[in-house]
Amino acid sequence: MKLFQQFGLLLFCIALLIFTAMLGIGTVELTESNISVEDSYHQSEILKIAAQEGLLNSPKSGIAFITQYNRVISKASDALAEKAKTGLPDGVQIWDYTIADWRAKNYVATAVTQGSSGPVKENPLLFLFLTFGLAIIGGLLFILPKFNEAEGIKNNGIYQDSLTRGMGLSMRYIYLLGTIIAVIVYGFFKLQDFFWPLVTVILGLVISYFVFFRQHSKDNNPQRSASPVHTGWLGVIAGTYMLGFYILLYWAPAYINNWITMVNPVSEMLSGNPASQWFLYGLMYTCIVIVMGVRMLTKYQHNTYQKVRTASVMFFQTAFAFLIPEILVRLNKPWYDFKNFWPLDYDFFYKYNIDELTSSGSLGLFMLIWGIIAIIIGIPLMTYFMGKRWYCSWVCGCGGLAETLGDPWRQLSDKSMRAWKYERFIIHGVLAFAIVMTLMVLYYYFTGNSSILGLNIEGVKSWYGFFIGAGFSGVVGTGFYPLMGNRMWCRFGCPLAAYLGLIQKFKSRFRITTNGGQCISCGNCSTYCEMGIDVRSYAQKGQDIVRSSCVGCGVCSAVCPRGVLRLENASGDIAERTDFLRTIHITEDEIKILS
């Protein structure tokens, strides 16, 4: 059995190696026939400069090509700007005549897609097998034998393993701050916008001021925050790899053209369209949720709640997030994920989306109404009955990845009071940002004014998409799994989780009950809470747990060695869910009688 597993691990490593090496495979060539740009004056200028620079008809590796082609386009744009001084063609504006950044990006992307050649392009299915195929087979070979192990809690050695141990505190500060600063600085250059990055930095400082000084957290060093003395370097490497993957996926997809090419046949089969980076991501995401979902099933063979819940996230990811949208596209309907709701789905109210839905017949209209009804009625009602868990740990795609791929790192969430303070400011801040941004977008939709109170609505949208949509939920949200736990995004950033959380906190039948005085304060519950809730602090008081962040994954209840915690719903006592303390066994009445 051991041999099987080692072989599986080997296959997985080979797959990962090939996957990574693919970034450097093959060549890209720019020719007169494959250059595909929108305007003839762009085309002639680019071709001229490309010929001068020796890029034309000269195959190059992907990375070299992209670098050089970017330079060519930039020079072409400068040359066009120079020409413009002597007069523009009829009816052409200067901003169309030169080559704007977003156009340059499209040009590069198209050139890479059209001009690439090499083994991947010739044999996409072979490479799909060597990466996805081997990784899945290897993963399953590693995981399936675990069905033979004795049932029970399987957390042995987690804090002795370099992959799952987490980072030392100072290392963590460096990594976290470094990533945030890098993302903001990159955003400044990428969006050529100084205002929103600056606002973000100021808000970050204001929040820190509140947490550290107004809420007296300065001296409360977070010793209990899941940081070991010795950093687990395998985890850091894994995290860095994932960070890198997300950066390429979101911000430099031209470099991962080979990966996209490889999944082309699958995309053609499903939707009839060539793959985009988002199809690649969706396919990968689904495969990972399924394979790591099987792992979760082996780990919790004894726990029906975990099994049903894991099956649920596997199903919703495969059917709702992946297959149904692709099939919709095949049927010439809008790509739509029926379980992804605003404000997590932040562009739901964008003009292009509303226009697309309203122009797609009755199904499109149904999609629009479904999304709106869910926000106003569906979500509050479901959350009233069973807490936010119905969504966050049963249905949601982000939650699905966190509960499957992220499970080995759930113990790394920060349990300190300070982290909780940050959490409340940041997640509700993101919710407010999402609401304000959406109101502005709707204002634009109904009035057609592109600015409000001097703020450019496009600028707000861009910054939200960049900083929250890509930076927070993707790069940090998933890239930080092996570094700071699997629910960074869900806990600190997700505006939908914030909304669900407010309902759970104030008007829900859900709570985690504690079983009388049976708690021994061991701390397994707190350690394995992915949301960083200090479950033990409630359990040892015998107090029911009602926290807006709780996603109801049920792992605290599973790992409790004394049978203390149970996820429950009841309507009778919603206002007093947490009043009763079960471990206090002396009442004031008793004292009067005795003294």
Partner 1 sequence: MHIVIIGNGISGTTAARWSRKLSDHKITIISSESKHFYSRTALMYIYMGHMRYEDTKPYEDWFWKKNRIDLIHDHVDSIDFDKQNLKLSHNGSLHYDKLVLALGSKSNLFGWPGQDLDGVGGLYHLQDLEYMESYSTGLKRAVIVGGGLIGIEMAEMFHSRSIPVTMLVREDSYWSNVLPQEESAMINDHINKHHIDLRLGVNLEEIVGDSSGKAKSVIVKETGEEIACGFVGLTAGVSPNVRWLKNTELEIGRGIKVNNHLESNIPNVYAVGDCAELTHPRPGRRGVEAIWYTGRMMGETAAYNICGKPVSYNPGLWFNSAKFFDIEYQVYGEVPTNMPEYMSTLFWKHADNEKSIRINYHTETKAVLGFNLLGVRYRHEVCEKWILDKVHIETVLQHLGLANFDPEFYKEYETELITLYNSQTGSNLTLNTKRGLSKVLAFLSK
Q: Under a CB-based contact definition with an 8 Å cutoff, are residues 104 and 74 in contact?
A: yes
Residue 575 within binding range of partner 1, rule CB under 8 A = no
Residue 578 within binding range of partner 1, rule CB under 8 A = no
CA quadruple 568, 574, 579, 581: dihedral, nearest 10: -20
Choose which of 87, 572, 575, 579 interacts with partner 1 (CB under 8 A): 572
CA distance linking residue 25 with residue 62, whole number of Å: 8
CA distance linking residue 429 with residue 190, whole number of Å: 24
Which of 583, 565, 502, 493 minimizes the C-alpha distance to 528?
A: 565
User: Which amino acid, 443?
Assistant: Y
Q: Which two tokens stand for residue 502?
A: 């407010």
Residue 450 within binding range of partner 1, rule CB under 8 A = no
Q: Under a CB-based contact definition with an 8 Å cutoff, are residues 222 and 422 in contact?
A: no
Residue 168 within binding range of partner 1, rule CB under 8 A = no
Residue 244 within binding range of partner 1, rule CB under 8 A = no
Residue 353 vs 416, nearer CB to partner 1: 416
Residue 80 vs 314, nearer CB to partner 1: 314
* Residue whose structure tokens are 């059209």: 114
Which of 571, 491, 557, 109 minimizes the C-alpha distance to 304?
A: 557
Residue 149 within binding range of partner 1, rule CB under 8 A = no
CA distance linking residue 284 with residue 478, whole number of Å: 14
Choose which of 3, 331, 453, 591 interacts with partner 1 (CB under 8 A): 591
Choose which of 23, 566, 574, 578 interacts with partner 1 (CB under 8 A): 566
Candidate ranges 22-30, 353-361, 484-492, 561-569; the one touching partner 1 (CB under 8 A): 561-569
Residue 146 within binding range of partner 1, rule CB under 8 A = no
Residue 529 within binding range of partner 1, rule CB under 8 A = no
Nearest approach in angstroms of CB 95 to partner 1 is: 56
Choose which of 150, 376, 453, 575 interacts with partner 1 (CB under 8 A): 150
Choose which of 54, 89, 178, 561 interacts with partner 1 (CB under 8 A): 561
Choose which of 23, 537, 574, 578 interacts with partner 1 (CB under 8 A): 537
* Residue whose structure tokens are 């957390």: 155
Residue 231 vs 277, nearer CB to partner 1: 231
Residue 2 within binding range of partner 1, rule CB under 8 A = no
Candidate ranges 87-95, 153-161, 205-213, 247-255; the one touching partner 1 (CB under 8 A): 153-161
Binding mask 405-444 for partner 1 (x = CB under 8 A): -----------xx---------------------------
Binding mask 288-327 for partner 1 (x = CB under 8 A): --------------xxxx-xx-------------------
CA distance linking residue 299 with residue 3, whole number of Å: 20
CA distance linking residue 261 with residue 256, whole number of Å: 9
Candidate ranges 52-60, 431-439, 446-454, 551-559; the one touching partner 1 (CB under 8 A): 551-559
- Residues whose CB is less than 8 angstroms from the CB of residue 111 and which lie 6 or more positions away in sequence, other chains included: 28, 30, 34, 35, 36, 65, 69
Residue 244 vs 561, nearer CB to partner 1: 561
- Paired with 511 in beta bridges are 568
Choose which of 7, 159, 241, 251 interacts with partner 1 (CB under 8 A): 159
Residue 167 vs 344, nearer CB to partner 1: 167
Residue 451 within binding range of partner 1, rule CB under 8 A = no
Nearest approach in angstroms of CB 304 to partner 1 is: 4
Choose which of 3, 453, 575, 586 interacts with partner 1 (CB under 8 A): 586
Choose which of 223, 332, 362, 447 interacts with partner 1 (CB under 8 A): 223
Q: Under a CB-based contact definition with an 8 Å cutoff, are residues 68 and 111 in contact?
A: no
Residue 116 vs 513, nearer CB to partner 1: 513
* Alpha helices (runs of H) in 54-148, residue ranges in sequence order: 62-84, 94-97, 101-115, 119-122, 124-128, 134-143
Which of 505, 498, 581, 491 minimizes the C-alpha distance to 546?
A: 505
CA distance linking residue 73 with residue 50, whole number of Å: 8
CA distance linking residue 250 with residue 246, whole number of Å: 6
Residue 594 within binding range of partner 1, rule CB under 8 A = yes
CA distance linking residue 159 with residue 387, whole number of Å: 31
Residue 158 vs 242, nearer CB to partner 1: 158
**Total of chain residues touching partner 1, rule CB under 8 A:** 65
What kind and span of H or E run contains 28?
Answer: strand 27-28
Candidate ranges 53-61, 216-224, 356-364, 436-444; the one touching partner 1 (CB under 8 A): 216-224
Tell me the backbone φ, ψ of residue 28, rounded to 5 degrees.
-125, 140
Which of 200, 22, 37, 176 minimizes the C-alpha distance to 103?
A: 37
Q: Which two tokens stand for residue 570?
A: 């009841």
Residue 507 vs 562, nearer CB to partner 1: 562
CA distance linking residue 103 with residue 98, whole number of Å: 10
Residue 146: burial class (beta carbons within 10 Å; 0-12, 13-18, 19+): middle
Which residues of the shown chain bind partner 1 in the complex (CB under 8 A)?
Answer: 150-153, 155-161, 219-224, 226, 228, 302-305, 307-308, 416-417, 513, 515-518, 520-524, 526-527, 536-537, 540, 554, 557-558, 561-563, 566-573, 582-586, 590-591, 594-595
